[in-house]
Structure 1
Amino acid sequence: MKMEKDRKKKLAFRLNTFILLLSLPLLCFGLDFLFRQRISFDQHFSGGGTAVKKTGDEKEFIKFHLSRLVRGEDRRKLDDTGFACDTAVHSVHCVSTKPVRIDTRNMTVYVPSGADVQHEMSIRPYARQEDLPKPISPVRMIMYRNSTDPPPCEFHHGLPAVVFSSGSTGNVFHELNEIIIPLYITTKQFGGRVLLVVEDYKPSFVAKYRAIIARLSSHDPINPAANDTVHCFPSTVVGLKYHDNLALNASDIPGGYGMSTFRTFLRATLGLRYTHVSQIPMPRLVLLSRTGTRRFLNEDEMIDMIKDAGFQVIVVRRSKLASNIEKFSRLINLCSVLLGAHGAGLTNEIFLPTGAVMIQVELLGTEWASNTYYGDTARAMGVRYLRYRIDRDESSLAKLYGRNSSVVTDPGSVFIHRGHIPARIIFLDQQNVRINLGRFRETIVEALSIVTDSPAR
C-alpha cells in the first residue's frame, strides 16, 4: 500500500511539474503584455502632457509673430480686439489673431467682431498699393456680429493663413519687388508654419518660385479658384508688408530682416555657389542682350572689346533660361559683373556675389528710374554700381526725333508736357543705343579693377 501511495505521489508531482512548465510561457506572455501596456500607457500619458504644452507654445509662437506685423496704435488694437490693419504709404495688410473662415468661392474672410455690430472692408492683397495692376482681385473682409452665423467650415487648418495675390507676373522686377520680397518679409518669421492662399493664382508664377515658396511655407499653396469651399484657420494675415523698391528695412515691421539676410536665404534656397566675388576664379561678365527695344546696336563689337579688356563673356538673350529662376540665378552667381541697358533684367543683380559689379547703361529719359530701381538698391546688396550714362549721339532717338529735339536735349520736359505714358513709350519702347566703345571701355576697365583687386582675394 505504501509503495502504491509513493508511486501516486511521484506521478502527481511529475504531472504538476509538467503543467507548471507548460504554463510558464503563458505566464511570461501575460506579464510581458501587462508590462508593455503599462509602458504604452505611461508613454501616452507623458506624451499627451508634452503635446498639450507644445500646442500652447505653438499658439503663443504664432500670436507673437502675428503681433510683430503691426505697431503702435494698431498693435494695441490687435491686443484688445484680435484684429488690426497696418496701412503704410506703399502697402496695407490686416492681421487677425482670432479664428477666421475664408470662403474661397468669393474670397470673403469672416472675422468674429466680438460685439453686436458688423462692418466690412475690402483690400487688394498686393504689396505696392499706389501702383496696383488691373488683375489684382479684391478680398472682402467681414467682421461679423455675435448673432451672425458665417458659412460652415468644410476644412479645418491648424496654421494661420497668409492671403496675397500673384496677379502681376511675367516681369522679374515686379515678381521679386512686389511679391517675393514682401512675402519673405511677412512670412519668414513663422518658420514655414503658415498656409499660403494665393489669390489670382498663376501656375507659372508658383512653378517658377516653387523653391522659395516651399521654404516659406511647409504646405502647398491654396488656389482659391480651384477650391470653391470654406476653410477655417486659427488666425490670418491678408496682404503683404512692403518696405521699398527691392528693399528690406531691418528697422521696419516685422523687424530684423535686411537685404543681407534675404540674400543669404536666396543662396541657401537656390543653391548659389559663390558668396563673394573673390571666390570666382576668373573675371566673368554676363551681358543681358535685348532683342526688342533698348537693344545694343553694336553688340558684337562691344563683346569683342570686353573680351579684349580681360573678361570672359556670357551673353544671355530672352529664353526659357531666364524664366527658370533656379538655373538663371546660378548662372548670374557665377559672374563677377552684370551688364545691361536699363530694364527689369537688372533685377538679377540680387543673385550676384558680394563685391561683384552691376553696370547699368542709362538711356535717355531713364535717369530717375535707373537710380531708384537698380542703382540705389545695388548698394544695399553689397554690389558695386557703375553707371554708364549715354550721350545723345549714342541714342537712336537722335535720329528718330532729331538731335536738337527736346526728346534728346531735355527728356524731363517730355514727362512734364506729354505725361508719363507717352514719355514711357518714347524712352522705353522706341529707344536703342549704339555704344561709344572708346568711352565705354573706361567703365569696363574700372569694373575689372574692382573685381580683381577685391580685398578678400
Structure 2
Amino acid sequence: MAGIQYYKTIFTGREISNNTVQQEHESMKFFLSRVVTGEDRMMLQSTGIACHKTNYSVHCVANQPVRIDTGTMTVHTPSDQPVQETVVRPYARQEDHNLLKNVTPVKILQGNYTMLPACQYIHDVPAASFVRKYSKPMSHLSAYEVMNPAANQSVHCFPGAIIGLKFHGHLALNSSDTPGGHSMQDFKQFLRQAYNLKFAHVSEIKRPNLVLLSRRKTRRFLNEDEMASMMEELGFRVIIVARNNVISNLNKFARIINSCRVFVGAHGAGLTNELFLPAGAVMVQVELIGLEWAAATYYGDPASAMGVHYLPYRIEPEESSLLKVFERNHTVFKDPKSFSFEVGREIYLNHQNVRINLARFRETMVEALSIVEDSDI
C-alpha cells in the first residue's frame, strides 16, 4: 500500500493517508466485484481474477495489480497460482467468427512467473476495455483520458482491470447486470450528452424530418427515388443518407438522426443508429426475405426499451431481387430456416436487394406520420 500512496502523491500533488488509500482500494474491489456474480464473484474474491464466458461474450475482471503491455496486448496478473493463459477478443458477438477476425486479441497471463515487464506508467484507477472507436462516448465514460494502444505502446500498471465486453442482449442493456442499475433510457441520455444532441422528445422537432438510410452494395432500395417522392407527397422532409457516410462521420450522423421524426432503412447494422432517435420517434425497418427474425430481434424488439415506436414493413417475394434467381415456390422463399447460417447470410444478406411496392409501403408511412403527429397533441 505504501507504493500506492507514493504514486498517488506524485500524480495528484497531495499527501494521502494510509487509511484513505486503504478505503479507496477496498472501494475499488467492491465496485469490481459487482461486475461479476455467483461463482465468478467467488473466484474473483479468492484468486483476484475471474473470467465470465457465454456464447456471446467473454469478459475478465481483476481486483489485484495488473501490468498491461499495450505493444503486445498482453495483461500480466501475477499470483501464486500455476501459470494460465486466456485470450479475449473484446467483442460482444463471440458467436460471429467472421466479425471476430477483425478484433485484436488480448492475452491474459495469470500465475506465478518471474519475467514481468517493468512498469513504465503507473495508474491509481482500474483499466477498462481497450477501445479505438467511438471516441465521443468513451471520453464521457471516465474523467480520465482514453488511451489508444496503437499510439501508446508501453507497459501500464493498474490496481485492477476489466477486460472485454459483456453481452446484455441485442442492442440492449440489462439493468440487473450493471453495477449502477442503468437502463437503456439512461444509456440514451448518456449518448445525448456525449454527442451533444439537441432533442430528447420528438415533439421538440418542428419540421417533419425523415431520414432514409441508403445502401450501396447489398440490400439496396432499387426504387429509392420513387420512395422518397412518395414520402415527400405525404408531407415529409426526406433526408437521404448513404451508409458509408454513417461510418465516416458518426458524430455528424448522430445529430442528423436525432433531428428526425422518422427513420427508415432496410435491415442492417446502420439501424443501430436508432439509439440517437428522440423518444416518441418512429423507426421503420424494411424486413427482407429470410431476415424477419433477425430484423425483429436485433432492431425491432429493442426499440420499445428506447422509447421508440417500431413499424416493420415485411416485403413480399415479388419485391425481392431473389425472385429473379429462384422460383416463387423455391425453398429460398418457402423455408429460409432450412439453410445454414453461412448459406443464409450469403443469400439473404449479401445477394438481396428490394424494389418496394409503393402502394403497400405508403400505408406504413401514413401510420408513421400519424404516430408522430399525435405526439404533438
DSSP 3-state at the match of 1:340 = strand
Deviation at 1:412, TM superposition (A): 2.9
CA contact (8 A) 1:361 1:390 kept: yes
Q: 1:162 aligns with which of 110, 125, 128?
A: 128
- The within-5 A match list for 1:62-141 is 62-113=28-79, 115=80, 117-126=81-90, 127-132=92-97, 133-141=100-108
Q: Cα distance 1:108–1:48, how it changes in 2: closer, same or farther (>3 A)?
A: closer
**Counterpart AA for 1:112:** P
Q: 1:144 aligns with which of 108, 111, 117?
A: 111
How far apart are the structure 2 equivalents of 1:76 and 1:242?
21
Show CA shifts across 1:192-233 (max 9, x none).
Answer: xxxxxx4xxx5xx3xxx2211111233443344454433221
Bigger CA drift: 152-161 or 255-264?
Answer: 152-161
Q: Cα distance 1:432–1:219, how it changes in 2: closer, same or farther (>3 A)?
A: same
**Counterpart AA for 2:357:** N
CA contact (8 A) 2:88 2:105 kept: yes
Deviation at 1:284, TM superposition (A): 1.9
The corresponding residue for 1:58 is 24
Structure with bigger helix share is 1
**Counterpart AA for 1:62:** M
- The within-5 A match list for 1:176-191 is none
Residue 443 (str. 1) matches residue 346 (str. 2): no
How far apart are the structure 1 equivalents of 2:117 and 2:227?
64
Show CA shifts across 1:407-442 (max 9, x none).
Answer: 2343333x1xxx322222221222221111111111
Q: Cα distance 1:82–1:380, how it changes in 2: closer, same or farther (>3 A)?
A: same
The corresponding residue for 1:302 is 227
**Counterpart AA for 1:69:** V
Deviation at 1:150, TM superposition (A): 2.2
The corresponding residue for 2:8 is none
Find the structure with the greater CA-based Rg. Answer: 1
The corresponding residue for 1:256 is 181
How far apart are the structure 2 equivalents of 1:282 and 1:223?
40
DSSP 3-state at the match of 2:221 = coil
Gaps in structure 1 of 5+ consecutive residues = 1-46, 165-197
Q: 2:284 aligns with which of 344, 355, 359?
A: 359
The corresponding residue for 1:372 is 297
The corresponding residue for 1:243 is 168
Q: Cα distance 1:51–1:336, how it changes in 2: closer, same or farther (>3 A)?
A: farther
Deviation at 1:257, TM superposition (A): 1.7
DSSP 3-state at the match of 1:374 = helix
The corresponding residue for 2:341 is 420
Deviation at 1:255, TM superposition (A): 5.1
- The within-5 A match list for 1:199-210 is 205=133, 209-210=134-135
Deviation at 1:396, TM superposition (A): 1.5
CA contact (8 A) 1:98 1:235 kept: yes
How far apart are the structure 2 equivalents of 1:319 and 1:143?
42
**Counterpart AA for 1:211:** K
CA contact (8 A) 2:246 2:270 kept: no
How far apart are the structure 2 equivalents of 1:410 and 1:110?
50
Q: Cα distance 1:89–1:430, how it changes in 2: closer, same or farther (>3 A)?
A: closer
DSSP 3-state at the match of 2:157 = strand
DSSP 3-state at the match of 2:177 = coil
Show CA shifts across 1:108-136 (max 9, x none).
Answer: 322232x3x42212122323322241133
**Counterpart AA for 1:121:** E
Bigger CA drift: 401-410 or 367-376?
Answer: 401-410
How far apart are the structure 2 equivalents of 1:135 and 1:245?
20
How far apart are the structure 2 equivalents of 1:437 and 1:153?
64
Deviation at 1:56, TM superposition (A): 4.1
The corresponding residue for 1:24 is none
**Counterpart AA for 1:295:** R
Deviation at 1:356, TM superposition (A): 0.7
Q: 1:323 aligns with which of 248, 265, 276?
A: 248
The corresponding residue for 2:10 is none
Deviation at 1:94, TM superposition (A): 1.7
Q: Cα distance 1:439–1:226, how it changes in 2: closer, same or farther (>3 A)?
A: closer
Q: Cα distance 1:394–1:321, how it changes in 2: closer, same or farther (>3 A)?
A: closer
DSSP 3-state at the match of 1:307 = helix
Normalised TM-score (structure 1): 0.73
Show CA shifts across 1:2-58 (max 9, x none).
Answer: xxxxxxxxxxxxxxxxxxxxxxxxxxxxxxxxxxxxxxxxxxxxx967666654443
**Counterpart AA for 1:285:** L
Task: Give the count of matched residue pairs.
Answer: 362
Show CA shifts across 1:285-331 (max 9, x none).
Answer: 11112222222222222112111122121111235455211111110
Q: Cα distance 1:322–1:99, how it changes in 2: closer, same or farther (>3 A)?
A: closer
The corresponding residue for 1:287 is 212
Q: Cα distance 1:410–1:86, how it changes in 2: closer, same or farther (>3 A)?
A: closer
How far apart are the structure 2 equivalents of 1:224 and 1:330?
29
CA contact (8 A) 1:119 1:144 kept: yes
Identity fraction in percent:
54
DSSP 3-state at the match of 2:128 = strand
The corresponding residue for 1:453 is 374
How far apart are the structure 2 equivalents of 1:287 and 1:94?
40
Q: Cα distance 1:291–1:152, how it changes in 2: closer, same or farther (>3 A)?
A: closer
**Counterpart AA for 2:349:** L
